[in-house]
Amino acid sequence: MEVAQLSPLRALAANPVLRREAGALGLYRMAEFGPWVAMLVYAYSEGGATATGVVSLALLIPTAIVAPFAGPLIDRFGASHVLLGAYVAQALSMGATAASLLAGAPPVVSYALGALTAMALVVTHPAHAVVSPGIARTTEQLVALNAVTGWILSIGLVLAPACAGLILAVATPGAVYAAGATCVVVAALLVVPLRDLVRPLVRDEEASAAGAFRQLDEGARALAQASAPREVVVVLAATFLMVGAFDVLVVVLAVGSLGIGDSGAGYLTAAHGAGAVVGAVTSLALVGRSRIVPVMLGAAVLGAAAFIVLGFAITVGVAFAVAVVTGISRSLLEVSGQTLLQRVTSTEILARVFSFKEGLAMAAWGVGSVSVPIVIGIAGLKGALIFTGAIVPMVVLVRLRPLLAVDAAAVIPAVTIALLRSVGIFRALPVPALEGVAHGAIDVAVPAGGTVFRQGDVGDRYFAIADGSVEVVRNGIRVNTLERGDGFGEIALLHDVPRTATVSAMTDGRLIAIERDAFLVALTGHAPTRARAEKVAEERRPTTAQSLVDR
């Protein structure tokens, strides 16, 4: 049986290249979060809450600096080479950190090696995103790999810290790093045969170190000059302040007040991750919502209430419940903030603003971590819990008037959003991305008998039918008819081929047109949506006997 006829999982299992890539990513995901928890636990054992906060900051700031260089690195040396190099670097730095921790080296040595590990880890996600389309040889293969990638990332968010907790229950933080090093060693061995499969791009100005720094600088300047995006970024930064504080509090609570030991920190982090997954699913209700700030405020108050309850009832059961609730709150805050930022930022500066926002978020994460020991020293653990819960609500309340003004001024293409959501390809697209696509969409009126495009034309847009119906004709033969809620034109965009069919209006109608770049960016940034599009394209794409053209 041909691979294209198999289910996504069977298609993945049938191809050794895809199996290697997916297996390597799964091992990497297990090594990504466990050592982070282990290092914070180690720091707490060495210097209490103060050391935990300082170490978290010391690991996050270098990561924030290195992150913008992942793209230029991939462009210059090739994604598959960078992916292999990243796994090797992670294995070496993680192994060295494990040896340092197990041998009882001075803490500063272990912290420095941990920072190197964190910097090496940040390259993997973008490299994997570029490698995946490069190693797939059929649409079905890419669908399989994208689907499994999404599962790996979601499951790993919960499973990795939980496994770290299991190791810490019977061993030390050094053992967690050793386990992580073993995972990435195997990951590196898995991708060795893939190292030459994705060629590097031609290096240009934006793929240089100077280009990466310039993008961050331009993002900062754009925010300074645009008040609406600035208000939203302030809330997102406050959210990551809270996240950083939570990371330290988890260790303080588990090892200190609750007495559930080092492993408890891993379990609490896993519970927080589970809550974040629930929050991400819940956020789908934000699609097309006219006002986002009330949701943002509600999520902030939900998280604050949970922290306050824990402050007055520090028990194991309450702690786990609060970890889940704050994970939901965090996820809703991130999605609502991203959505509002997407709404109020012009297309011209969006990429720069988001680049700067990512760097700022990492810095805020570190500052939040280091703030906890200071607050504990002043107000105790209860005060630190209340402080952590109050960070985001206070920022939102202080900036509530301008935030409400920003929210009210945002134009929401609710009808377009609803239409795109009804199109199968876009059904799973995250809220910010879906609204971004809708904002850039163009209304196109087509009279009865009018031609949308002809077989053999260059593909420059994807179309969704808002009203009316169209017919699809290939080589003079009608092969399909489409109506409201259907979309067409994906094959030429995804596979860079001429249109494979002629599409004409059967009645007067209205189409929603999405430009090629916006369509591809939306799909590239979300694996499940890309998988849906590839599956639809494969089903519609003509066979060789029918000739290579689009609907």
CA 455 to chain CA centroid, nearest Å: 37
Compute the average pLDDT of residues 276-292: 77
Compute the average pLDDT of residues 238-267: 93
> Hey, is 484 helix, strand or coil?
coil
Q: How many CB atoms lie within 10 A of CB 547?
A: 12
| Proportion of the chain above pLDDT 70, given as a percent | 78
Question: pLDDT by residue (tens digit) across 27-72?
Answer: 998 998 899 999 999 999 999 989 899 999 888 888 877 777 776 7
Q: Two tokens at 414?
A: 């609710």
> Hey, is 452 helix, strand or coil?
strand
Which pLDDT band holds residue 550 (cuts at 50, 70, 90)? very low
Compute the average pLDDT of residues 363-370: 90
Mean pLDDT over the full length of the chain:
82
Query: Beta-strand (E) ranges in 405-467?
Result: 442-446, 451-453, 461-467
Give the H/E segment covering residue 472: strand 469-474
How far from 195 is each of 232, 355, 477, CA to CA, in Å? 41, 28, 45
Lowest-confidence region among 106-110, 266-270, 496-500 = 496-500
62, 152 in Cβ contact below 8 A? no
**C-alpha dihedral sign at 115, 351, 152, 1:** negative
Task: Return the closest-CA partner of residue 238 out of 43, 27, 397, 355.
Answer: 397
Specify which residues 462 forms β-bridges with: 514
Assign 3-class secondary structure to 534-546: HHHHHHHCCCHHH
**In the prediction, which pLDDT does 313 show?**
93
Question: pLDDT by residue (tens digit) across 469-485?
Answer: 999 999 888 988 888 87
More confident residue, 164 or 416: 164
**In the prediction, which pLDDT does 545 show?**
40
> Hey, is 123 helix, strand or coil?
coil
pTM exceeds cut of 0.75:
no
CA angle 536, 461, 202 (to 5 degrees): 95
Query: Which domains does the chain show, CATH number per domain?
Result: 1-203 (1.20.1250.20), 208-411 (1.20.1250.20), 414-546 (2.60.120.10)
- The helices-and-strands tally (H runs, E runs) of the chain is 20, 8
Question: pLDDT by residue (tens digit) across 216-228?
Answer: 666 677 677 777 7
Give the H/E segment covering residue 275: helix 261-282
Rounded CA separation 58/376 (Å): 20
